[in-house]
Amino acid sequence: MTHQVYGEGEQIFGYRNLFIKLFITAGRLNMYCEVEHSGMYESSKPGELKPDEVIPPLANLVPPNTILGSKSTFVAMIRKEASFRPFGEQISRHTIQEGGEERVFEMYLSDESTPGFTDYFERVQMFAMFYVDAASYIDNTDEKWRYFLVFEKYKSSDGASLYALAGFSTVYEFYGYPEHIRPRISQMLVLPPFQMMGVGSALLQAIYNKYIDDPKVLTIAVEDPSEVFGKMRLVLNCRNCLELTAFGVQNIKSGLTKQHYDEARTKLKLNKDCVRNVYNVLRFRATDRNDPEDCKAFRLFIKNQLYAPFRRQDKEKAKMEKHHLSQEEISELLSFVPKEKRSEIIHQEYLDLKAKFSAIVEKLPK
């Protein structure tokens, strides 16, 4: 996301064949920037444009002196990586098998009172500026923020244990009346070398585990989730709900009931929208694709939900007509979809959802 570093134009003026290398140690996040080019623009008159600065915009993203001034100093810092240990309390562990070897990821929880963590997280946030569009830095002095960081624990050639930052998530604990909290996940980023390994799901589950047994927690929400995060979250929610009685095969086809909402909220801290989305997927999973009547029942169930916005439109239109608004005035105030077009729209939405559900079911236990 270079526009968040060098401006909306995504341009650096005044260099030929410019190449920027930013080296970052995996644990402490010390940095060294190397700039290469084959020529710079040289102004011949006072007041002419000068080449843009390259390193200062990067340095503005991190605390002072984070980007080291010489390569030799940076190399010396690499040797100190063996003594780095993650901040905070270890709360979870995730392992994967790759090439016959085990890779280990550990999750840690910190807050603003964790010694040394505030300065460290100012370096961590830089990655959000690189990889998350419209990212912004949070106020890490606010005591209501919780920070979940994941590190890969690996061995050096001499057998020493080392840690590499693999990702992070921030959670803000909002107040809930009268003495409750409503945690909201604000950011989550898994760094590119560690994606597609289940690290994001493991990190989200670690966040869930932190809150689901706390009686003060009402529900766990997410702020403006991306499409990728939304899919990951839905898969994980489905897996967790499969362990609940209300979502068992014997109950899933009886319709979405208060039992589903209550058990998912009490045991998993899921809100109503999450419960409905999970139920839809698991209802699809339980539908016999070879049974026409079963398929029809599922199709009608989903289409009834999809028709809800149109029912609201009809009510709004009826209210406006009651107040003697003309059809032209109603059209200006309401994006009204004619009834003859609704069936086609709903059917396409149903097919899109069905394809989405199929992809999610493939990731669930058989």
Please tell me the distance from the alpha carbon of residue 18 to that of residue 13, in angstroms, as a whole number.
10
Of the candidates 315, 247, 258, 316, the one whose C-alpha atom is nearest the C-alpha of residue 284 is 247
**196: exposed, middle or buried (C-beta count within 10 Å: 0-12, 13-18, 19+)?**
exposed
Coil vs helix vs strand at 187: strand
Q: What are phi and psi of 167, to 5 degrees?
A: 175, 175
Please tell me the distance from the alpha carbon of residue 97 to that of residue 70, in angstroms, as a whole number.
38
| Catalytic option among 10, 223, 243, 321 | 223
Q: What are phi and psi of 329, to 5 degrees?
A: -65, -40
Of the candidates 270, 149, 157, 298, the one whose C-alpha atom is nearest the C-alpha of residue 211 is 270
- Can you list the positions of beta strands (E) in 71-130? 89-98, 101-110
Which strands make up the sheet holding 19-24, listed edge to edge? 19-24, 31-36, 67-68
Residue environment code for 144-171, b if the CB has 16+ CB neighbours within 10 A, otherwise e = ebbbbbbbbbeeeeeeeebbbbbbbbbb
Residues 57 and 91 sit within 8 Å (Cβ to Cβ): no
List CB contacts of 108: < 8 A, sequence separation 6 or more.
86, 87, 88, 89, 90, 91, 148, 149, 150, 151
Q: Please say if 223 is a catalytic residue.
A: yes
List CB contacts of 112: < 8 A, sequence separation 6 or more.
118, 140, 141, 142, 143, 145
Handedness of CA 137, 58, 68, 189 (dihedral sign): positive
Query: Which of the residues are catalytic?
Result: 223
